[in-house]
Homo-oligomer: A and B are copies of this chain.
Amino acid sequence: MTYAYDEQIDGPLVTHDKVTIVHELQALLPRLQLLHEAEDLRPFECDGLSAYRITPMLVALPSSVDEVQALLKYANTRGVAVVARGAGTGLSGGALPLEKGILLVMSRFNRILEIDPEASIGRVQPGVRNLAISQAAAPHGLYYAPDPSSQIACSIGGNVAENAGGVHCLKYGLTVHNILRVEIITIEGERITLGSEAPDSPGFDLLALFTGSEGLLGVVTEVTVKLLTKPQSTKVLLASFDNVEEAGNAVARIIAEGVIPGGLEMMDNLAIRAAEDFIHAGYPIDAEALLLCEVDGAESDVNEDCERVEILLRAAGATDIRLAANEAERQRFWAGRKNAFPAVGRISPDYYCMDGSIPRRELAKVLRGIADLSSQYQLRVANVFHAGDGNMHPLILFDANTPGETERAEAIGARILELCVEVGGSITGEHGVGREKINQMCAQFSSGELMFFHSVKAAFDPSGLLNPGKNVPTLHRCAEFGSMHIHHGVLSHPELERF
């Protein structure tokens, strides 16, 4: 699935040779912070989406804001593209390097600058790991809510770039709802603060615009996060169902009743069996679907909510409901879910993890559609969801060594995402667009909407040097991909030359 990156369409060509650039950058950075030999570059050739691999021209490891400013000013002056990278755990190739670009690795920005328990905020550098923030806040009874599955490794800078979610985002929101302020460096090397500790900032909401912009608008050098008080009590219910529709309806009923669970996850039979075989979580292997519903809050509230959820689950057709008896069993229930991806990896030579989102009410319809596609393409699909907020992760099982299966896997993946768009959903839930879904963006958006994205991009980065080829496709690419919605003959628009 390696992609021949076409810089002539998607990104600017560098006008200077590598030797010159390395030489010039050596004046800006200490020797050990600049990697340019082939063997040093290898570890950076992909992020969590390992299907795409490109060796960067060189890797810079700045350790101060001054160095980031100097690097970006240099890149801007020389017209060299820059890709910023956090921990490299992203699943959509957002940190995929450029053959002729600088990879700006932010791992040295790893300090927690401040935990202020009184204000319930933390101020951290972008290379700090997501989980490390909660660990630093724990002595004060506080934690940082968004918890992507990769939270042990992923960095907060990457979380901001991707607007990361997690199993608790139904109740506690995405990254954008849990940060107050970021400091960024623009491609011109200017240091700018977006957002504030105030609930509503005047002017345009540039913090929300920046969050999830996947490195296209600037490089984050500091993040101020909200910290929440740890809930007194947390309980998990595991419910079994004879069919996925009933499980889907149960989700809708719980939400409609006004209960906002801390997490509300769904797995289908193939995912259940794979996870049980791997983790021995105690899952019901004959169930067609299971729901995990976590309730958190004050002790007595949690007991009450658990009772309400149990009644709703039973009314929706649950055949069996189990409350985790203790913390160990609760952890085991979650371990099965959190390891569903590697578990599926054990029963198939290869799998392709999809990430789409749909309106909750379309859950049953989309599941039927996926089952039909599975028969049509003769590939098994295991379904794992953040059901509460309609974020689906179908896992397509295939064998790359069987001729044609890789192509069929890619094709069914694309069809599933188109199905998400058809029912009013979106081609990404929480993994971002990155390099992986750049073509699907042409299906999601009209050329009019894409033009706005390009205008906003141009407002921050007029030369298009920051992470070109990710997140927002050029109109040319969409025309080639064949999914361009032509509005008012915009493809002959004079501005097109710029995009």
Contacts and interface: CB of A to CB of B under 8 A. Distances in A.
A261 interface: no
Interface stretch (A12-20, A188-196, A272-280, A285-293): A188-196
Contact of A252 (B118, B211, B360): B118
Contact of A456 (B204, B230, B359, B488): B204
A95 interface: no
A497 interface: no
A327 B263 CA distance: 33
A295 to B, nearest CB: 11
Contacts of A190: 448, 487-488
Interface string A295-315: 001101100110010000000
B298 A424 contact: no
Given A206-B456, A456-B204, A196 B298 contact: no
A387 to B, nearest CB: 12
B452 A390 contact: no
A217 B206 CA distance: 14
A436 to B, nearest CB: 11
B298 A308 contact: yes
A198 B358 contact: yes
Copies in the assembly, this chain: 2
A204 B200 contact: no
Interface stretch (A44-52, A328-336, A376-384, A427-435): A427-435
Interface stretch (A2-10, A54-62, A437-445): A437-445
Given A203-B441, A205-B176, A209-B208, A198 B357 contact: yes
B433 A202 contact: yes
A480 interface: no
Q: Which secondary structure dominates where chain A touches chain B?
A: loop
Given A197-B359, A459-B452, A460-B452, A202 B426 contact: yes
Contact of A209 (B204, B229, B252, B257): B204
Contacts of A201: 426
A231 interface: yes
Contacts of A165: 199-200
A380 B426 CA distance: 54
Contacts of A70: none
Nearest to A450: B203
A455 interface: yes
B199 A427 contact: no
A446 to B, nearest CB: 8
A39 interface: no
B459 A455 contact: yes
A228 interface: yes
Contacts of A429: 198-200
Contacts of A304: 298, 300-301, 304
Contacts of A455: 459-460
B198 A390 contact: yes
Given A258-B229, A455-B460, A360 B211 contact: no
A456 B424 CA distance: 28
B208 A231 contact: no
Contacts of A174: 199-200
A196 B256 contact: no
B204 A428 contact: no
Contact of A361 (B118, B199, B300): B118
A389 B391 CA distance: 30
A118 B253 CA distance: 9
A212 interface: yes
A472 interface: yes
A203 B459 contact: no
Given A190-B487, A198-B359, A359-B198, A204 B453 contact: yes
A119 interface: yes
Interface string A223-245: 00000111110000000000000
Given A300-B304, A359-B119, A426 B258 contact: no
Given A120-B256, A206-B452, A301-B304, 17 more contacts: A119-B361, A163-B205, A174-B199, A177-B177, A192-B449, A198-B357, A198-B424, A199-B357, A199-B390, A200-B391, A200-B428, A200-B429, A203-B471, A204-B213, A204-B217, A300-B300, A300-B301
